[in-house]
Structure 1
């Protein structure tokens, strides 16, 4: 203490000898002392960065852990080193400027503001580090926390702003926290969309409604593709044409959307498609046709069972012709036999789920387009390209098999069909 007083008197005396008025020499001493303290703080910052931070970096690299790697990526140690000059300046100022309480108080305010800003900076790096660490875990695919982390950052920064105001206005932080209640109505009005987004983002995360990697379809916003980012107030979707659609988070809570995650997790992707048969090609099967179809391995058991059920007379089409006795009994039709073939073919298909999922081949009501035979089954490969290939192969085979049953697929006549008809008439 005595040493500092002697130094102060010596500096002021020399300033007076230089012709500086005694009143202004005190101000000059304050400026010189403050610059010296700032220089010492800067040196302290360099020392901490050069030695302590480098030691921590080397330790983090040697441990070879994800935590150390992410702390380095987010410059956590570098940001932490900025606390050193604040403590140096604060400590030295209390001793050097003890005879200048006004200036000492001014420096204390600046140091406290600096500490709040650096603390917010450090917490931001820590939150980002913990989030990256969480993203490496398997739990992150089921429960995305990006929105929650953003909410935490907002709360921390708002708290930091309140502390900054309390320092500048020399008020207790509780004074500002108590005043937030009165501002609630104004905040709700001004930041309505932001607040809706915040609440919706937390709901989406907490209820696991959508997460990164989900296939989401929302026609209202023209979105149909994979979710690439789940933020607190927005959801980014990359459509199949590689365009990006950004949707407000509250829209996913208030509006309807389709999430295909259930399909992906179930391991089965639905085929729901019909083959339309030309009604004029549907007929009873003759005995000779039945014998020909019995050569198909997949239909042997079916036709053998039908022979037992309806008897041989029901198959003797050539003998009965179209007489009434034929219609009085049970008979085989080519459409029914084709439907049975579809069932057996898909039962034997290695890419179709046989148990645990719907397996249905049914005849729907006839329409102006013909008689629909609907295939309603699930493929055991949910990948889009593979699924489409399997579906195409199945229908290629079934459509190509129609002539074997003397059936024709219905299609609307084209210009070529009319031209062929005109030539046949001419």
Structure 2
């Protein structure tokens, strides 16, 4: 090896001297040339390992049925592994190649050591990320924010690598750097504030099971309404239902309010909570003829008969003057309408019978009397849910006139036009 190095050096030195280089310039130029040749040889070896050995290994691995080797390839474990062999060979060959050049040997050795530290760091990181992918392939961990934890591990690896590189380049003990870092810890905390907050939030989100990958969450403050794609150290990505993606700071999940629909999806039922505004002026007692006519409605027939019997018995014993409608008890159109909706929902096969079901009055306002339907469908599928709710309200809106009721709505331009036309005709 010494003879080969001397021969190459002598050849380059004499060649440079022939082209008019001074003795010192030829010496330095030849040394640089020798370094370039050395690193080119190392790069060539690295290239051969990656292109030949890796191709053979990858073909062998892809034939296997296990997914672990696929994760190794995906995270470039083999690629970083092949970088180590040329660097280790270079580390061993440096003293032999640059015999008689102690300064060059020292500088080149430091460069190789730094490259070794970087290669080992990336190799360890890729192994950790392979482990993360293996965990993600298990059903138990599919919805856990593993990305956040492994990002913290990557940051720690980078910090350790940075300290080792600093120690290697300066030749100082790493403890000195750690002492200096302790002195500027306040600045570090300030610089990495979002990272620290994100890590704390990730731990709390995971430990309290607040959000999982795949959950449908709604966070109006950030315009998020969709499924969680990823949860990492700094951000949570949500794909909205309009196919846009909203990015939310991870720590916002514990500092702000949001809605998670996971329990609704697991329950098997989704809530319908919608009101009809009944015009208050149309609410009244029903006449006997109107009651008889409404008995023709199958869902109400038994209820009306039972209700009339109950009311008649009460009025006979408690009412002195039954001719005054206000005295005693009477059947109202809004009461029958409310009972009809309730029975209609109970007989609807798409309504969940184990959850709350009611038709209730809300506080009357300038828009009339809100009559709210509160029930649950027996499916959580969004498209089916909207279809079921639309079918229910299509029917309810259509039967309102049968109960001699009207819905409140603001007058349209057509209404005003007909009103003016009617007034003009009268004049």
Q: When the two structures are superposed, what TM-score results if normalisation uses the length of structure 1?
A: 0.84
Q: Which moved more, 1:149-158 or 1:213-222?
A: 213-222
SS at match of 2:209: coil
**What's 2:268 paired with?**
267
**Is residue 407 of structure 1 aligned with residue 376 of structure 2?**
no
**CA apart distance, 1:7:** 5.6
Q: Would the aligned equivalents of 2:195 and 2:233 in 1 still touch at CA under 8 Å?
A: no
- In structure 2, the partner of 1:112 is 113
Gap runs ≥5 in structure 1: none
Q: CA deviation at 1:175?
A: 3.3
Task: Tell me the secondary structure at the aligned position of residue 251 of structure 2.
Answer: helix
Aligned residue for 2:76?
Answer: 75
Aligned counterpart, 1:56: 57
Partner of 2:364: 366
Rounded Cα–Cα distance in structure 1 between residues aligned with 2:98 and 2:409: 97
Q: Matched residues in 1 for 2:218 and 2:51: separation?
A: 53
Contact 2:321-2:327 at 8 Å conserved across structures: no
Change (3 A) 1:6 1:383: closer
**Structure 2 counterpart of 1:392, from 378, 390, 397:** 390
Greater shift, 173-182 or 54-63, is seen at 173-182
Matches within 5 A, 1:246-395: 246-311=247-312, 323-324=323-324, 326-355=325-354, 357-395=355-393
- The reply on whether 1:170 has 2:171 as its aligned counterpart is yes
Distance 1:50 1:414 in 2: 75
TM-score (norm. length: structure 2): 0.84
- Identify the range of structure 1 (71-80 vs 107-116) with the bigger mean alpha-carbon deviation: 71-80
Instruction: Please identify, of 31-40 and 132-141, the stretch whose mean Cα deviation from structure 2 is larger.
Output: 31-40
Check whether the contact 2:148–2:233 (CA below 8 A) recurs between aligned residues: yes
TM-superposed CA distance for 1:14, in Å, is: 7.8
| Distance in 1 of aligned mates of 2:9 and 2:60 | 49
Quote how far apart the aligned CAs of 1:84 are.
0.9
8 Å CA contact 1:272–1:376 kept in 2: the answer is yes
What is the CA-CA distance between 1:339 and the residue it aligns to? 0.9
SS of corresponding position for 2:233: coil
Give the deviation of 1:201 after TM superposition: 3.9
Superposed, which structure 2 residues align to 1:185-264 within 5 Å? 185-264=186-265
Q: Which moved more, 1:173-182 or 1:267-276?
A: 173-182
Which whole-Å deviations, capped at 9, do the CAs of 1:328-375 have from their partners, x for residues lacking one?
Answer: 3322222111111111111111221111x3222112233232222111
TM superposition shift of 1:145: 1.6
Local SS of the residue matching 2:111: helix
Secondary structure, counterpart of 1:276 in structure 2: strand
Deviation at 1:100, TM superposition (A): 4.9
- Contact 2:16/2:26, CA 8 A, preserved across alignment: no
Rounded to whole Å, the distance in 2 between the matches of 1:15 and 1:336 is 107
Name whichever of 301-310 and 399-408 sits farther off: 301-310
Q: What is the SS of the residue equivalent to 1:353?
A: coil
Query: In structure 2, do the counterparts of structure 1 residues 149 and 13 end up closer, same or farther at CA, with 3 Å as the change threshold?
Result: closer
| CA–CA separation in structure 2 for the residues paired with 1:412 and 1:310 | 37
